[in-house]
Structures are given as structure tokens and as C-alpha cells.
A = this chain, B = another copy of it.
Amino acid sequence: MNKEIANFDYYNPTRIVFGKDRIKELSTLVPTNKKVLVLYGGGSVERFGTLAKVREALSGHTFGEFGGIEANPTYETLIKAVKLVKEEGFDYLLAVGGGSVIDGTKFIAAAALFDEEPIHIFGSGIGKGIPITKALPFGTVLTLPATGSEMNSGGVVSIVAKKAKLGFGSAVTFPQFSILEPELTYTLPKRQLANGVIDSFVHIMEQYMTYPVGAMVQDRFAEGLLETLIEIGPDVVDESNHDYNLRANFMWTATYALNGTLNKGVPGDWASHSLGHEITALYHIDHARTLAIVLPSLLEIRKEQKYGKLLQYAERVWHITEGTDDEKVQTAIDKTRAFFESLGAPTHFSDYELGEEVVDALVSQLESHGLTAISERGDQTPEVSREIYKNAL
């Protein structure tokens, strides 16, 4: 394994507009000579008044609306928006919602200017995987801290007809701006808050919990974000706690968890995500809650491969000073599991009344998706994944 910091590029042109009462600045953030399509999901942005604020701020603009983008946005729905954009000549998009709406908007922005059929934005045997080189400009108003999509250039789209969930991204699919109003999180239910904390936590772990390469800044930043989530998590999931700083720290942490800061020059794992996606696909468990099942089990099974970083995690993130190194590592894993449980996310299949039958089914899914040599070392075979699933029963 390379023990040096690898070469990297850092590039993130998204403007973050953070704080109280910022939505009104859409009036100047969105160029007035553009025809704007406002995109959103279900009824909550209407019900809680966010859309009303957006409409008010855009009153000097020409704009239309497209609602109904699903959680886990589907290609089939997004293609309808692409058609609308082309037919009506919209030339600026504004996503109002969480990661699903923002991911969907990124796809629409790219697909609207794509020279080939939009399906070829995807690879993985579904499309030709042709690079995205142009996209409509777009901004976002974030309502749910979790995915980091508001400050990165990637997205995930489900293709219902193919039973596939595929990623895409490019240097031209960064939001031009993202408005982060912590107060918009005050209407979120506990389950979504917990999902946001866990999703952010595991995003950080995927980029941190690998093997040490001596990237001190990246490690310290990851550790600081993890410590922050551990500190605020229990209060964040109290949906009645509307402390401004609490929600502001949650929102900024979730953004930094996946905005291209932590992964610079270091290895990445992402096996928890791969194993979790299969659970969502087969058993319809929330994405973040699948991560809560997989990660603690994975850390136990992969203890040897991740030993150096696990010990660092134990000492720096959980501040464990007692015991042998082995004991510190195990305590850190136990505390990780207990943290997820404390947020209301169970960490075993049995909590969902699922038993041994899931193991073969999930491993088959991994194999059918070619996920047979995953993790930072590429050595997580289907047999290792099987152990991880079994260990989480």
C-alpha cells in the first residue's frame, strides 16, 4: 500500500449562502435574464412555506415549477423534466429540497444539454458512459442535511425499468450556489434527522477509515467532523430542539462530510455504501439505516485491515485512553454501534425481523452488480461481504 499522500486536485466552485433569512437573496443569486425551472419533491416544501418564500424571492424572474421528484429520484420522472426544460426553453434550474431533489436536478441539468440520449450519461452496462461536458446552470435551496449534494458534483439516479441505481458526475455539475438555512430543518421529523446524522457520519468514515497515509489535515478534519456529530447527534434527533447553533453545526458538518475536502490524496472505502444499497434494494430499508447495520459489522470483520486507522479513531475521536490497543479498537467499534442505536437506528437485521435468508440474497446481488473486489484495498470479496452480512444478523 502506498504510504504517501497521493497527488490530488481540489476544485469546488459552489457558493454557499449560509444562515438566517437567506432565501430572499435568490432575487440576485439567480440571473434575471434566465427562465428558471424550480424543482422539488413532495408536499413538504409547499406545506412548510419554503416554496412560498422561493416564489416571493423569484417574483422578478420568469419561472416555472416541476414537483414530484421522488426520494431516490427515478430516471423515468427526471426525463419528464428534461422534456419540459427543452420544450419550454428553461435555461436555469433551482432545486428546492434534499439530496434526492438536488441529485435529480443535476441529472436534468446535464441531460438537457447532452448530445446523445440521456441514458448514456450512465455506464455500468446500462448506457455508454459518455462524459458530461456541459450542463445548465443551477442553484439549490437545501432542506435536509445528509447527502452533501448541495456542495458536490455527483448524483445518484434510479432507473426503474432496469432495477438499477447509478451514479454520475462531472466538473460542470456543481451547483452555482446553495442556500443553507439551518432553520429549514426545524420541521424535519426525528427519523430524517437521525438518517442525516448517520449518513454524514458514514460518509466521513468511508473516506477516513481505511489505512493511514499520513494525510494529517484530512485526518484531523475528518476526526473533527466525527467528534462534532457524536457531540450533537443526540440533540439533533430531538425534533423539538430548535437551537439555532445546533442545527447550523449539523448542516455545515453534513455538507463538509461529502464536499470533496476529506478524500484528497487518501484512499476511500465505500464498501458500507455498496453493501447498504443492496439492503435498500431488496428490503426497502432507509439508506442511512442500512449503513447503521453494515458499518459496525464491517469494522469488526475488517478490523485487521483497518487496524491502524481504527486505533487512531479510538484515541482521537472517542478519546479512549484505557486498555490495550485491541481493547481500544473494540471499544471504539462498540461505541460506534451504540451511537447509531442511540439515534434510533437499529444495527442488526433481526431488528427488522430479517434472518439468515438475507445473506445469500444480498451476496448474490453484490455479485450480479460486479461488486466482488471492493474497499480501499480491493480485497473485499463476496466471501468477506458474506461474513459482514452474517455478523450483522
A residues whose Cβ falls under 8 Å from a Cβ of B: 4-20, 22, 213-217, 220-221, 223-225, 227-228, 231-232, 244-245, 248-249, 252-253, 256, 264-265
Across the interface, which residues of B come within 8 angstroms of A221, CB to CB? Answer: 220-221, 224
Across the interface, which residues of B come within 8 angstroms of A249, CB to CB? Answer: 5, 214-217
Contact status B217-A252, CB under 8 Å: yes
Contact status B19-A10, CB under 8 Å: no
Tell me the number of copies of this protein.
2
- Can you give 21 A-B contacts (C-beta < 8 A)? A4-B244, A5-B244, A5-B248, A6-B19, A7-B22, A8-B18, A8-B19, A9-B16, A9-B18, A10-B18, A11-B13, A11-B15, A13-B13, A214-B245, A215-B245, A216-B231, A216-B232, A217-B224, A220-B225, A220-B227, A221-B224
Across the interface, which residues of B come within 8 angstroms of A7, CB to CB? Answer: 18-20, 22
Across the interface, which residues of B come within 8 angstroms of A14, CB to CB? Answer: 11
Per CB-CB distance, the 3 closest pairs between chain A and chain B, nearest first, are: A220-B224, A7-B19, A10-B16
- Secondary structure at the A interface, as helix, strand, loop or mixed, is mixed
- State how many angstroms separate the Cβ of A321 from the closest Cβ of chain B: 10
- State how many angstroms separate the Cβ of A13 from the closest Cβ of chain B: 4
Across the interface, which residues of B come within 8 angstroms of A19, CB to CB? Answer: 5-8, 265
Across the interface, which residues of B come within 8 angstroms of A17, CB to CB? Answer: 9
Cβ-defined partner of A220 (8 Å) among B11, B215, B228: B228
Cβ-defined partner of A224 (8 Å) among B9, B11, B223, B264: B223
- State how many angstroms separate the Cβ of A227 from the closest Cβ of chain B: 6
- Distance between Cα atoms of A14 and B20 in the complex (Å): 27
Known contacts A217-B252, A249-B215; is-contact A9 B20 (Cβ 8 Å): no
Across the interface, which residues of B come within 8 angstroms of A265, CB to CB? Answer: 18-19, 248
- Distance between Cα atoms of A252 and B256 in the complex (Å): 17
User: What residue in chain B is nearest A10 (Cβ atoms)?
Assistant: B16
Cβ-defined partner of A216 (8 Å) among B13, B15, B18, B253: B253
Contact status A228-B224, CB under 8 Å: no
- State how many angstroms separate the Cβ of A378 from the closest Cβ of chain B: 22
Known contacts A9-B16, A18-B265, A245-B4; is-contact A217 B228 (Cβ 8 Å): yes
Contact status A256-B217, CB under 8 Å: yes
- State how many angstroms separate the Cβ of A308 from the closest Cβ of chain B: 15
Across the interface, which residues of B come within 8 angstroms of A13, CB to CB? Answer: 11-13
- State how many angstroms separate the Cβ of A297 from the closest Cβ of chain B: 28
Interface centre among A6, A19, A224, A225 (most CB of B within 10 A): A224
- Distance between Cα atoms of A232 and B20 in the complex (Å): 39
Across the interface, which residues of B come within 8 angstroms of A231, CB to CB? Answer: 216
- Distance between Cα atoms of A4 and B7 in the complex (Å): 38
Across the interface, which residues of B come within 8 angstroms of A214, CB to CB? Answer: 245, 249
